[in-house]
Structures are given as C-alpha cells and as structure tokens.
C-alpha cells in the first residue's frame, strides 16, 4: 500500500526535521518593538521570519475555503482556532529551505502553545521577550504614525489587557523552563538589538546533515 510503504523512512525524516529545525518565539506587548527587531534578526542571523497574523491574512487573500472560514471568524470577532494557525505555521516551515525560524507574536495564549507543541512537535530554543511597562506601550502606540483605526485609548487598553492576561502566562511558563531571554525594550533600537545579538549568539550552530544519513 502506497500510504505505508516506507513508514520508517517517513518517521525518520520527520524526526530529522524536528531535530534540525530551530524555532525562536518572539513575544512582547503591542508597541514593544518586535516589528522593528525581527527584520534585524533576519538580516544579521539569517533566520526566516514568520508572523501568524500575516499567514492568516495571506490565507484569506488566497480565497481558499480555509481563508473564508478564517475571515468569518474575524468578522464575528472570534479567535481563529489554534489548530488552524499552527497548521499554517507548520506548512510555511515545511515549505521553507531555511530551517531557522523566528515566530513573531506567537503563541498568544496557552492554547496556542499546547497546539504548537502537539502538532509541530518542536519546542523553541528560547523565547525572546521584549519587556516593556504598560504605560510605555500605551505611549508608543499612540505616538506611532501608522494610521491604524484601533490606535485609540479604549482599544489600546483592550489589546494590552488581552496581552497581559493571555500572553504573559505563556512567557511565565517558558520562564519556568529556563527558556526566556528577557530584553529591556524601553531603550533605543540600537541598545535593544545589542541584547538581542547576545541572546542569539548563545545558539548552537545548526548541524548540516544529508538526508541520506537518516534513512
């Protein structure tokens, strides 16, 4: 049977991909500087930048059945199920030649975290946490000139409430595992990136193993 002809090879290949894939979660409140620092990480360290929000929007724009379902969730103000988001991330990772990823703004909550570990079966090397007080985050969001309709005091307050209630427990979970690299995000872009570079410098080099060696 075609589906089970090479089970050992398939399992070995999946194990190989899990072993050689490097994942770093990038977390922090809205306005903490993730969007500024991620392109610098890509340029300096050669990681592939994945953003769950961008992948969801791309799926909507594709006009697929999945995209329509995602759009309906958003229209109704509902959170897209973790399984859908995780599978889009997994697909992007599988299709990439680069096996070093920074995943921006994910996991947003404990359900996201559990779904990623259960489906993708890869644990992050570490979590890059841009730590910034609520007052500073509010000030930054109000000052940025992006013209976003949700950049007003009321909606900013709601977004920050969701972040502190849902995402901080994820950060605390990984901190209990010794996997959080905490960055003081109140400083200048250059000062923050110096600390980011120190965090990434601790990563072990990726082993380059030929696919034939795992069969």
pLDDT in tens, 146-167: 555 555 777 788 889 889 999 9
pLDDT of residue 145 exceeding 70, the answer is no
What the block records as the tokens of 165 is 């209630």
40 annotated among ligand-binding-site residues: no
122 annotated among ligand-binding-site residues: no
Per DSSP, what are the bridge partners of residue 104?
26, 51
121 annotated among ligand-binding-site residues: no
182 annotated among ligand-binding-site residues: no
Cβ-count burial of 71 within 10 angstroms (0-12 exposed, 13-18 middle, 19+ buried)?
Answer: middle
pLDDT of residue 213: 33
8 annotated among ligand-binding-site residues: no
pLDDT of residue 76: 82
105 annotated among ligand-binding-site residues: yes
Report the C-alpha dihedral over residues 172, 176, 177, 178, rounded to 10 degrees: 90
Report the mean per-residue pLDDT for the chain.
84
pLDDT of residue 158: 84
178 annotated among ligand-binding-site residues: no
Residue spans per domain, the chain: 27-199
148 annotated among ligand-binding-site residues: yes
| Rounded percentage of the chain residues whose pLDDT exceeds 90 | 67
| Rounded to 5°, angle at Cα 214 from 213 and 215 | 100
112 annotated among ligand-binding-site residues: yes
Contact 132, 32 (CB under 8 A): yes
138 annotated among ligand-binding-site residues: no
113 annotated among ligand-binding-site residues: no
Tell me what the mean pLDDT of segment 128-144 comes to: 91
What the block records as the tokens of 19 is 């072993």
Identify which of 142, 201, 214, 185 has the alpha carbon closest to the alpha carbon of residue 27: 185
78 annotated among ligand-binding-site residues: yes
30 annotated among ligand-binding-site residues: no
Contact 186, 136 (CB under 8 A): yes
Q: Please state the φ and ψ torsions of residue 101, each to the nearest 5 degrees.
A: -125, 140
35 annotated among ligand-binding-site residues: yes
CATH of domain 27-199: 3.40.50.300
31 annotated among ligand-binding-site residues: yes
102 annotated among ligand-binding-site residues: no
Q: Which residue has the higher pLDDT, 132 or 15?
A: 132
pLDDT digits (tens, 9 = 90+) for 63-120: 999 999 999 988 887 788 999 999 999 999 999 999 999 999 999 999 999 999 999 9
């Amino acid at each position: 049977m075609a589906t089970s002809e090479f089970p050992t090879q398939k399992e070995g290949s999946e194990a190989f991909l899990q072993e050689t894939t490097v994942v770093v979660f990038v977390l922090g409140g809205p306005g903490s500087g993730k969007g500024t620092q991620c392109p610098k990480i890509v340029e300096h360290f050669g990681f592939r930048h994945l953003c769950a929000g961008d992948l969801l929007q791309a799926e909507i724009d594709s006009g697929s059945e999945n995209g329509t379902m995602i759009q309906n969730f958003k229209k109704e103000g509902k959170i897209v199920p973790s399984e859908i988001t995780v599978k889009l991330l997994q697909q992007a990772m599988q299709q990439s030649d680069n096996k070093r990823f920074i995943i921006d703004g994910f996991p947003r909550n404990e359900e996201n975290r559990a779904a990623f570990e259960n489906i993708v079966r890869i644990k992050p090397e570490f979590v890059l946490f841009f730590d910034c007080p609520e007052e500073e985050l509010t000030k930054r969001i109000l000052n940025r000139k992006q013209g976003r309709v949700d950049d007003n005091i009321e909606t900013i307050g709601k977004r920050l409430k969701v972040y502190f209630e849902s995402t901080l427990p994820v950060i605390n979970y990984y901190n209990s595992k010794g996997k959080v690299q905490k960055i003081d995000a109140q400083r200048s872009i250059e000062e923050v990136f110096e600390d980011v570079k120190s965090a990434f410098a601790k990563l072990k080099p990726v082993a380059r193993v030929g696919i034939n060696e795992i069969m």
